Structure 1
């Protein structure tokens, strides 16, 4: 009989893994900045996420008091820094307006085609399914609620860095998940889009890593994810083979 520690755990990132995180970014820029349809929205989005991660790390992560005190400033600065690379100089007021528009649109979430169905299939197969995501607890839980995931993933398998105290790529957040769920690293799979946060972090914790590279970006280091998927159709076939479900 398989022991609890041998049970396979499949954990997913949230932003740009379960739903299209580019959409609210693009909509916010169109509404406030109006850069035109030729603007490279996807490239700018990646730079915004880079600065978001970098500034968050400088503050010590979403679980720290410094982050809570400075999060609004960080959120506006990331837009200023990212868009400056594309020749758009935002004033403080303009950056705040973009952030407000971006935040409002993040709760109008449409999951990627096949995402909900895959979560349901994994749950029905008896696997331990959960989420690991960076960000303030309330903010990330609002997104999870907007996707109506409460019937698929119980609260005790949702791990938000702002509540846990460690941000990805810190391996401690993955070890914390193992401790709380009674799983072992070698029996856990992590699916995420971010090279730095998801691939690097989960590898450091000894997990199996599936890089959800649906945007076709290049690796950022010499790390080697165990598998790469570009769609939920491909991911479903891959997990079916890996898990024997």
Structure 2
């Protein structure tokens, strides 16, 4: 059992608490005309790559919103992603895929065992919260769709577009520690993204748990403290 005494456990949202691939697949099928042979999971990982790299180039969520570049980034990541798989889209076509993506992003179920694990962590007396990259209203709609308000109070839901620093910037993790009063060495972060979640948590001195449910390969020489491939495995790791 990893957790002993009172500790803080924070979760990523996209593709950690719910299946982020599902709305991507629906949007690409509906708006771009992809068929069942299209490599959706491979393309999804490229979308995440372009989302991260474009966001970093443009200064993060807050800077993109201030400059009116957020919607451009969202469409551009689709244009570049699908272009790698032989689907050349105009800016207007890429915007249509992004619109379809947004249209189905708030209709989803949490991964099996996710809600139950959060409840068990709360019952055990741990501080449980969320840290998620993205624009405030956009990410809040996802959180609200999961109906987590009874398990995770608003003051423990940290959206980087609101706070001002995007993962992997350690300042978002330091900010959370300052507000919870829990030291980095007593804080765990769970997420699927190697760049944002593993590298971010390690850089802040937190325990990094990589939820590698898509069986990806490490992207750098960084070493997460633990790796889990499902919520069943994660539950055993954390609580025994």
State yes or no: 1:105 paired with 2:136. Answer: no
1:46-100, Cα deviation, whole Å (9 max, x unpaired): 0011001111111111122655510011111000001111111011111111101
TM-score, normalising length from structure 1?
Answer: 0.94
| Residue aligned with 1:175, SS | helix
Q: Distance in 2 between matches of 1:194 and 1:146?
A: 22
State yes or no: 1:81 paired with 2:77. Answer: no
Displacement after TM superposition at 1:24 (Å): 0.2
Match of residue 91 from structure 2? 92
* Conserved? CA contact 1:59–1:66, under 8 Å: no
Match of residue 15 from structure 2? 16
Match of residue 41 from structure 2? 42
Displacement after TM superposition at 1:140 (Å): 0.4
Q: CA RMSD, aligned part only?
A: 1.1
Match of residue 3 from structure 1? none
Match of residue 125 from structure 2? 126
1:108-141, Cα deviation, whole Å (9 max, x unpaired): 0210000000001111111100000000011000
Match of residue 226 from structure 1? 225
Match of residue 69 from structure 1? 68
Output aligned runs, 1:184-195, within 5 Å.
184-195=183-194
Q: Distance in 1 between matches of 2:71 and 2:40?
A: 22
| Residue aligned with 1:60, SS | coil
- Structure 2: which 5+ runs fail to align? none
- Structure 1: which 5+ runs fail to align? 1-5
State yes or no: 1:162 paired with 2:161. Answer: yes
| Residue aligned with 1:189, SS | strand
| Residue aligned with 1:63, SS | helix
Matched residue count: 236
Q: Distance in 1 between matches of 2:232 and 2:141?
A: 27
Q: Distance in 2 between matches of 1:171 and 1:186?
A: 14
